[in-house]
Each structure stands twice: as C-alpha cells, then as structure tokens.
C-alpha cells in the first residue's frame, strides 16, 4: 500500500450531474483492521479530519482518466472523483486499487458494477469469448455500424472492447470523412445513421474517445453529425450558429495558442452537452459522467492558464477603470470577467484563494462600484453576477472593504448603499434583481459567517456600521406611500431576520424609531401576504420574550391593529386567521404574563365571543390564575407582615415594661435605703417622722 501521501481534491457528482468539490487533502491507501479492508483515506488540509473513508471493494469499477483523475461510484447515482496534483500520486493509488481487485494496472477501468445472476455470468462468459469486429468504414456499411454500436451500449464488456478499438484506430476520422461525403450527396438516410453512430460513441463515456472527437480537426464534423437527428423534420443549423453567431471576442489579446484552442474547445463541448445530446433519464444520469468531468477539467485548466499570465488580469482591470472606453467595450469586458469568475469555481481552494486575493489587490470592488451605478441594464446585471461570486466566496472580504470605504469616504457614497438602492429601484415587475440582491445582503448580515479574532470582532464592527450608515436607506420604502407591496415584503423578510440574529442592534433601532408601529400600518393593506409579513415581524419580536419589547408593545397599544385586522377578517378560515390565532396561542402557552394581562384587560370583551378556538378563554384563565396568585401572595405577605409587626410590638412593650420596672426598682432603692442592725444609733427617716 502507498505510504507517501499525495495531495488530491475530492469531488462528488450531484443530482444535476455537476461535480461539486468536497475538499482538498492528502490521500493514502491503508488497511483498516477494525473494518477488515483496504481503504482510500483523504485527510482534510483545513481541519485535519477525514473527508473520505472509502473501502476498495472487489466489485467496484474504478476508472483512471487523463493520468491525474480516478473516478468511481460509491453507490447508485453517486459518483466520486479524485483529482491528483501529480501523475505519480495517481499512478501509485491506481496500482493499489488494481492490486486489491487483482487487476492489471495498465487498464483504465477495473470492471463493471454488476451484481449478476448465474445466467448473466454465463452470458458474460459468452460475450468474453465473442470477437467484436467493426464493419469496414464504408457508406454501404453505415446501417450495420449503427446497429452494432447501438447494441453494444447494452453490454458493458462490449462497450470496453469497442472503445479500445475506436481509440487505437483511425475509425472515427474515417466516419467523419463519410459524413462530409454524405452531406455533399444529400444522403439523408446515411446522415441519420451517422447521427446514431456518433451519439453512440459519445455514450461510450470514454475520455480517450472525447480527445479524438473534440480535437480541432473533428469537433465541427461531430456537431454536424448531431444536426441530423432522425426525430427532426429538418436538421438544425448548429454549425452555422457556432461559426457565425457565437464568435469568440478577444477583448484582451491572448497570445497563448494552446489556451485559445482550449477555450474554443470547451465552449463547443459544453454546447454539445447542453444543446445537442438528449437529456438523460433518471436511469441514465451517469452515462455521460466522463463528459462532465472532461468539461470540468478543461475549465480548471483555462482559469489556471489565465491566472498564470502576469499581464492578462491587470490589463482587464486597467481597461475596466478606463473612463474613456465606450459601453459596448465595457460590456464585453464584464461578460468575459463574469465567465472567468464562473470558471474559477472549479479551482482547488488554495488556487481559488490566490486568485481572489489577486482580484482584490487589482481593485475588483471599486470597479464593480462604478459599473453597478451605470444605466446600462446588461452592464449592471453582469456586475451584480460578479459581485455574487465574490460574496459567496468571502463575505468577510466584502465587509472589510465596505467598512474601510466608509472610513475613507468623504461624500458618504458607499458601495453597500448603492447595492441597497439597486434593490429598492428594481424595475422588474417580478423583482428578480431585488430578490437576488436581498439574498446577498442577507449573507453579508448573517452573524454565522462573521469572524472573530483576538484583534477584532467582525460582528460588532460591521453591524455598528450598518445600523449607523445603511438601515435608514434600507427601510425608507416602509415610509413611502407608493412602494411596491412585493418590495415591502422583501424588506420585512430581512428585518425579521435581523430581529432574530441582531438582537441588540435592531432592538435599539426599533425602540428609538418606533418601527413596529410603522410596520403594523401594513395590517390595513389589501394584500394578505403583506399583512402576514408584518405579523411575522411582530411575532419574531414576541418570540424573543424580551420585556423591553413587551413593554414597548404594551405602552404603544400595538396589539390594536392586529386585533382589528383579525376582526375585519371575520369568520373566514385563512392564513391570516391562523397566523393571528397562533400568535395569541403562543403568548398563552408561554404564559408571557405582561402580554396576557394587557390582552385580557384591553381586548377580551371584543374577543370573548370567539369560541371555535379556546385560545382567548385560555388567556382569560391564565390572567385569572395570575390574579389569584398575586392576590394570594399579597394576603400571605399581609399576614406575614402583620405577624411580624405584632410580635415586634409585643417585644417592644415587654422591653418597655422591663425598663420601667427596673427604673421603679432603682427609685425605690434610692428613696428607701436598706435598714441595717449594725448601727443602732442611726436615724431612720420615714414620712412625717423619724425613728431613732
């Protein structure tokens, strides 16, 4: 087993047939004693834990592609891939896999994943002994070739053999020569056969075949063959579109011929995958996994080559900053840069970190600020898409720029306020742009992705900034009489999020600006969804069980518009009815005493007649129970107090009596000295007389 650990990136094929990166790390193939088997283990670079622990099973088919990629399926419709940084690492792991499965490392696929019955195994033995021979590549044989390739797709063993034959011979190029001859002759029948043949070769799902089919000499003929779908009355003109309508615009000169060829190839292959090939059914999702991997790796290679060019990106940004260029040129630059950012999602995290650091140093955010304020809708849309990539990659990087900009800005024209204004001023009737920008604001305002270090707290710094410089612009439509209801609902949705996650900052703003009162004006709206948004905002405040909020609601009598909307709704059983009852039921169940008392004392007479739920009677019961409890507490307190006062008074009287008795005793002693027999001649005085 391989002792040396090689650096890899781990990918998983998702439901949309796109490769998602699961992380990077170092791979080893190790015998795990507790699990009794050899496992592929990938230890994460970032946190050191295992991101892959996959047993090398004897019946799992592994496939090696392009010398640096190993692909396999963990389970049905669950493709996995390992992308190696070096070919040596891929070779060593491949040898370990083949050793466990008893295969020759020279093969590119170990076996087919089939749990076969005895009859199926017998069929495989017969297939193995059957020699696969392709007919001669001639016009008269095209029907026979089409039938053969179609039948081969049902047999994994024959698929492998056919792929090897096609890779090692010039058969595909000869087929494409026949295609050109058939087009010249207008031979529609044979063109239909060629469509089936080329489609079948693509569904063999072999990277080696893709290298031939998508070479510069062959790819346009492949597109041509796929135009002649027998299901269509007339062939589609895809080649015409690719050569005339979809021309590559070289906005910044690219001198690398290999890079140019790779860009053209990737665009055309993506077009074939998206437009020309039939959408696979649920049972065919993995039939083109190698094709998706081919496109994916091409994109990685393109971005890497552009990133390594020291002059390319600086030149793009220099032109974007140039105020003299026209809108057409700027639009093309942004479209290119948007696609570049899209391709960059395929990079390994270290390379992606390096790329976005470079973009930041080149001033991508100041450039976006300028172009997002332009009138051209396409320019603004492309700039917003680029901004989205940056926010998704690193919200902290965006927040840092925003705060630093505010510290340096003299005119108060801030980037984040520009984003908010773009959202508020969206002219789309469906507010697609506003919804998108609201999602980005939510990411920026989410404390869960804010960093805390020993030197600074990003949460405190950014939220202080936002509630000082931005919140008033964000909520301005709430105070405007002409604001669109859909826009108000978006604003309330984000404000509700803020109540839940920015407890201290938003609370100060709500209390100081009496914001809830303004929101509850929307309870009079004719739009039920807007009433529900306002109610949800209040519900979230009550959910916090904060007595400052409760006191604010009570003093402002802010349940009044809620009760009025509830009564105006009448006996209709709808979402408004359910939402209001749920609000009062929550207060009852949680027994929020101050709110229970306020509701019963001010609204019970109005709500008493509602008997189809027991909520309001339950509130009354809670209220009476609390009154009884308080009354009993007062009685007990009075009894205890009276007892204490009585005992204390008795003790005082006793002390006074003792003190008086003591004083009387002392007086008697003073006026009645003791009569002693020691001095018989001493006079003893009594009242009125003396006694000798």
Confidence at residue 634, expressed as pLDDT on a 0 to 100 scale: 76
Phi, psi torsion values for 467, nearest 5 degrees? -75, -15
User: Which pLDDT score, from 0 to 100, does residue 491 have?
Assistant: 96
User: How would residue 686 be classed by pLDDT, with cut points 50, 70 and 90?
Assistant: very low
Q: Which is higher by pLDDT, 47 or 660?
A: 47
Is 121's pLDDT higher than 70?
A: no
**pLDDT exceeds cutoff 80 at 56:** yes
Cα(393)–Cα(352) distance, rounded to whole angstroms? 9
Q: What is the mean pLDDT of residues 215-236?
A: 93
Burial class (CB in 10 A: 0-12, 13-18, 19+), 344: buried
pLDDT tens column, 491-528: 999 999 999 999 889 999 999 999 999 999 999 999 99
| pLDDT level of residue 618 (50, 70, 90 thresholds) | very high
Digit-coded pLDDT (tens) for 414-453: 999 999 999 999 888 889 999 999 999 999 999 998 987 7
More confident of the two residues 56 and 123: 56
- DSSP per residue, 334-366: HHHHHHHHHHHTTS-HHHHHHHHHHHHHTTHHH
Q: Out of 125-134, 249-258, 589-598, 624-633, pick the least confident.
A: 125-134
Look at 540 and 75; give whichever has higher pLDDT.
540
Q: Is the pLDDT of residue 692 over 60?
A: no
CB neighbours of residue 210 within 10 Å: 21
Q: What is the pLDDT of residues 319-329, one digit of tens each?
A: 998 888 888 89
pLDDT of 487? 94
Phi, psi of 132 (to 5 degrees): -90, 120
> Mind listing the pLDDT tens digit for each residue in 544-563?
999 999 999 999 999 999 99
Mean local confidence (pLDDT), 18-41: 82
Collapsing DSSP states into helix, strand and coil, what is residue 208? Answer: helix
pTM of the model: 0.69
Tell me, what's the pLDDT at 651? Answer: 64
pLDDT at 283 over 70: no
Confidence of residue 662 (pLDDT cuts 50, 70, 90): low
Task: Give the torsion sign (CA, 265, 266, 267, 269).
Answer: positive
Average pLDDT of the chain, as a whole number: 84
User: Which pLDDT score is estimated for 684?
Assistant: 42
């Amino acid at each position: 087993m391989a002792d040396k650990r090689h650096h890899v990136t781990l990918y998983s094929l998702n439901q949309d047939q796109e490769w998602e990166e699961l992380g990077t790390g170092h791979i080893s193939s190790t015998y795990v004693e507790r699990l009794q088997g050899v496992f592929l283990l990938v230890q994460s670079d970032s946190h050191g834990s295992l991101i892959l622990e996959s047993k090398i099973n004897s019946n799992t088919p592994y496939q090696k592609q392009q010398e640096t990629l190993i692909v396999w399926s963990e389970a049905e419709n669950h493709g996995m891939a390992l992308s190696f940084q070096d070919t040596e690492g891929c070779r060593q792991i491949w040898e370990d896999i083949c050793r466990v499965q008893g295969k020759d490392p020279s093969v590119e696929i170990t076996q087919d994943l089939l749990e076969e019955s005895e009859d199926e195994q017998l069929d495989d033995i017969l297939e193995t002994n059957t020699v696969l021979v392709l007919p001669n590549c001639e016009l008269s044989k095209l029907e026979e070739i089409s039938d053969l390739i179609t039948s081969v797709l049902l047999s994994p063993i024959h698929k492998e053999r056919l792929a090897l034959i096609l890779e090692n011979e010039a058969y595909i190029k000869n087929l494409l020569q026949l295609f050109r001859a058939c087009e010249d002759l207008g031979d529609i029948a044979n063109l239909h056969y060629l469509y089936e043949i080329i489609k079948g070769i693509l569904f063999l799902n072999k990277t080696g075949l893709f290298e031939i089919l998508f070479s510069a000499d062959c790819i346009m003929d492949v597109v041509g063959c796929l135009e002649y779908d027998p299901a269509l009355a007339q062939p589609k003109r895809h080649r015409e579109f690719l050569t005339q309508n979809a021309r590559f615009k070289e906005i910044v000169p690219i001198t690398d011929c290999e890079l140019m060829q790779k860009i053209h190839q990737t665009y055309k292959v993506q077009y074939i995958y998206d437009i020309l090939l039939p959408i696979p059914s649920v049972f065919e999702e993995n039939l083109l996994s190698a094709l998706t991997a081919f496109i994916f790796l091409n994109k990685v290679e393109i971005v890497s080559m552009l990133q390594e060019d020291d002059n390319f990106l600086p030149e793009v940004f220099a032109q974007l900053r140039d105020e003299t260029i026209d809108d057409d040129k700027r639009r093309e630059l942004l479209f290119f840069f948007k696609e570049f950012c899209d391709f960059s999602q395929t990079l390994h995290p270290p390379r992606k970190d390096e790329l976005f650091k470079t973009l930041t140093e080149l001033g991508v955010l100041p450039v976006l600020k300028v172009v997002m304020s332009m009138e051209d809708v396409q320019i603004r849309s492309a700039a917003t898409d680029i901004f989205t990539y940056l926010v998704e990659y690193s919200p902290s990087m965006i927040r840092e720029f925003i705060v630093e900009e505010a510290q340096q800005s003299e005119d108060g024209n801030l980037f984040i306020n520009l984003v908010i204004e773009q959202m508020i001023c969206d002219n789309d009737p469906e507010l697609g742009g506003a919804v998108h920008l609201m999602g980005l604001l939510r990411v920026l305002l989410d404390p869960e992705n804010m960093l805390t270090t020993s030197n600074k707290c990003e949460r405190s710094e950014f939220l202080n900034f936002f509630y000082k410089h931005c919140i008033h612009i964000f909520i301005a439509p709430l105070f405007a009489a002409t604001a669109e209801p859909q826009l108000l609902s978006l604003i309330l949705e984000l404000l509700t999020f803020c109540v839940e996650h920015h407890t201290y900052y938003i609370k100060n703003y709500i209390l100081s600006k009496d914001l809830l009162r303004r929101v509850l004006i929307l309870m009079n709206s004719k739009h039920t969804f807007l009433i529900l948004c306002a109610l949800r905002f209040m519900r979230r405040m009550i959910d916090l069980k904060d007595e400052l909020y409760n006191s604010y609601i009570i003093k402002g009598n802010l349940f009044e518009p809620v009760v009025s909307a509830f009564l105006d709704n009448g006996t209709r059983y709808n979402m408004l009815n359910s939402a209001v009852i749920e609000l009062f039921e929550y207060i009852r169940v949680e027994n929020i005493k101050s709110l229970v008392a306020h509701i019963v004392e001010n609204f019970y007479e109005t709500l008493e007649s509602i008997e189809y739920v027991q909520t309001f009677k339950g509130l009354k019961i809670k209220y009476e129970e609390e009154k009884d409890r308080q009354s009993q507490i007062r009685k007990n307190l009075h009894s205890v107090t009276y007892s204490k006062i009585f005992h204390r008074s008795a003790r005082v009287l006793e002390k006074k009596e003792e003190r008086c008795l003591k004083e009387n005793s002392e007086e008697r002693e003073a006026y009645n000295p003791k009569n002693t027999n020691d001095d018989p001649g001493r006079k003893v005085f009594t009242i009125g007389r003396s006694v000798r």
